[in-house]
Amino acid sequence: MKEVTILDKTFIKYIPDEEINAAVDRIAAQINHDYQDEPPLILITLNGAIVFAVDLLKELTISAQITCVKVSSYQGTESTNHIKNLIGLTDDVRGRRVLIVEDIVDTGRTYKYLWDMLQEAGVSDLRIATMTLKPDAYKLDLPVHYVGFSIPNKFVVGRGLDYDGYGRQLRDIYQLKID
């Protein structure tokens, strides 16, 4: 499928399945190496990061635990300033290493929100693994530790990423087509 139409928009294939799998393997190898002494609590951000997180977890050899939070900042194809905390943190993270897993870091507002929340909760070490990063939109000084792909500032869907809730199941990543 070279193109897909979701609701009112057309998207073109941008990153094929095999390249995403290779990026998952690369990041998993780094995480297996970096966390061998003290495994992390892996914090998956619902809903978008589910697919990447499952792919990643299958390649991990460390004895990590997982938990989920649900935050939302997007409406349609636009990031909003207001972050909604829909499902909060239920685990005691004090003194623990936490690794956030994200589908995409765009402006970084969601990351900053989670960063503040987790620092406040007393984590000992905090990192993030993200399938995609939009460097031109990213406005923070916080380090982004594990990145699958740095991509242009264009809207993408697939592999967990959605347009108004649709497109998450696509194996490949698709980019918004501008005619």
The residues annotated as belonging to the active site are 106
Stretch that binds Mg ion, among 18-26, 40-48, 88-96, 138-146 (CB under 5 A): 40-48
What is the size of the binding site for ligand IMP (CB under 6 A)?
19
| Least spacing, CB of residue 162 vs Mg ion, in Å | 9
What residue is closest to Mg ion based on CB? 48
Structure letter (DSSP) for residue 62: S
Q: By the 8 A CB rule, do 108 and 126 touch?
A: no
Q: By the 8 A CB rule, do 84 and 69 touch?
A: no
Q: Which residues pair with 84 in a beta bridge?
A: 72
Q: Which is nearer to ligand IMP, 37 or 78 (CB)?
A: 78
Question: Contact between 107 and ligand IMP (CB under 6 A)?
Answer: yes
3-state secondary structure of 18: helix
Binding mask 149-168 for ligand IMP (x = CB under 6 A): ------xxx---xx------
Question: Contact between 130 and ligand IMP (CB under 6 A)?
Answer: no
Q: Which residue has the tokens 């004895």?
A: 63
Tell whether omega for the bond before 47 is within 30 degrees of 0, i.e. cis: yes
7: left (phi over 0), alpha (psi -120 to 50) or beta: left
Residues that bind ligand IMP in the complex, under the rule CB under 6 A: 48, 73-74, 79, 102-111, 155-157, 161-162
Residues that bind Mg ion in the complex, under the rule CB under 5 A: 48, 103
